[in-house]
């Protein structure tokens, strides 16, 4: 069987080259929304954001993902004023981070206006939790700026009975849409969307069957950090889900995850390194 590194082309994000299959990459989460589900929202405190991002880079983060809107279940759709608030949170933070940290910055948004401003401010990747369903203009925007785009399968508006075929079909649709808009094949990353419109059983099934996404021929991002499925299984609040997160990531890496999106960078870098030694035989 061919290795991931021999199948997938490398992706350049900012000044860094990501060689898929050689190791697991770590994306550190910088939530600026004050109502973040995990209770780690930094708000408009740029100094706190910078301190957290610097710490994550020191701990081994390869990417910093900046978001200004809560995506927890039950969140109301944003108004124009809300989008203005999101811009006021993320743009100054990205401008500051771009001049202060050495790893690429991703903008976590599904809105063209936010993504466009963020790329001009210094972001070098788009993380779209709606896989172009909410705003298809993100694909030509990524193509124009020659930046990677993460396409996440989201079932919040259309729950599915048979989850893996639904996710694969949705991601195939999004990949084709992005490709037709001019996004190069090596700039597309896929995410199954843990907790976004899935039941507990479906989230567990996704991690168990994550390897099936390899048929898409794209790097796979796994975002299970502190998610509700861990709380439901272990009966723990968001800030006590470290060990549960570690278990989901180790199994996810064994099943093909190329990037993990996490809150607890130091600990999860260790999980990734240990998993890589076993799975990828990387010392």
Q: Which residues are catalytic?
A: 227, 261
Give whole-number Cα distances, 243 to 134, 157, 221, 236, in Å.
34, 31, 19, 11
Cβ pair 219, 258 in contact under 8 A? yes
Query: Which stretches within 133-256 are classed as H helix?
Result: 138-145, 163-180, 200-208, 228-234, 242-254
Task: Say how far apart CA 8 and CA 11 lie, in whole Å.
Answer: 9
Task: Say how far apart CA 89 and CA 126 lie, in whole Å.
Answer: 16
Q: Reduced to 3 states, what is the DSSP secondary structure of residue 257? A: coil
Cβ pair 64, 7 in contact under 8 A? no
Cβ pair 176, 201 in contact under 8 A? no
Degrees to nearest 5, angle at CA 123 with 195 and 218 = 50
Task: Say how far apart CA 113 and CA 107 lie, in whole Å.
Answer: 12
Q: Are strands 149-152 and 63-67 parallel, antiparallel or unpaired?
A: unpaired
Helix (H) / strand (E) element for 72: namely none
Cβ pair 135, 110 in contact under 8 A? yes
């Amino acid at each position: 069987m061919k290795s991931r590194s021999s199948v997938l082309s490398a992706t350049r994000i900012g000044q860094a080259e990501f060689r898929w299959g050689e190791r697991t990459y770590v994306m550190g989460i910088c939530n600026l929304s004050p109502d973040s589900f995990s209770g780690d929202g930094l708000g408009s405190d740029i100094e706190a954001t910078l301190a957290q991002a610097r710490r994550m880079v020191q701990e081994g983060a390869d990417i910093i993902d900046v978001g200004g809107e809560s995506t927890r279940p039950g969140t109301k759709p944003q108004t124009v004023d809300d989008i203005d608030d999101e811009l006021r949170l993320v743009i100054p933070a990205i401008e500051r981070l771009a001049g202060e940290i050495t790893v690429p910055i991703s903008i976590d948004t599904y809105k063209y206006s936010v993504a466009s401003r963020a790329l001009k401010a210094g972001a070098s990747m788009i993380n779209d939790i709606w896989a172009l369903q909410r705003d298809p203009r993100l694909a030509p925007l990524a193509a124009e700026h020659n930046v990677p785009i993460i396409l996440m399968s989201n079932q919040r508006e259309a729950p599915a009975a048979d989850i893996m075929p639904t996710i694969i079909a949705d991601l195939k649709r999004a990949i084709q849409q992005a490709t037709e808009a001019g996004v190069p094949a090596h700039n597309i990353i896929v995410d199954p969307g843990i907790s976004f419109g899935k039941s507990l059983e479906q989230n567990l099934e996704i991690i168990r069957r994550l390897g099936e996404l390899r048929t898409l021929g794209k790097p796979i991002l796994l975002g299970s950090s502190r998610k509700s499925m861990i709380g439901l299984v272990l009966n723990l609040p968001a800030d006590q889900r470290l060990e549960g997160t570690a278990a989901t990531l180790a199994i996810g890496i064994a099943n093909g995850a190329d990037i993990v999106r996490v809150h607890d960078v130091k600990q999860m870098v260790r999980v990734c390194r240990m998993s890589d030694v076993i799975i990828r035989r990387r010392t």
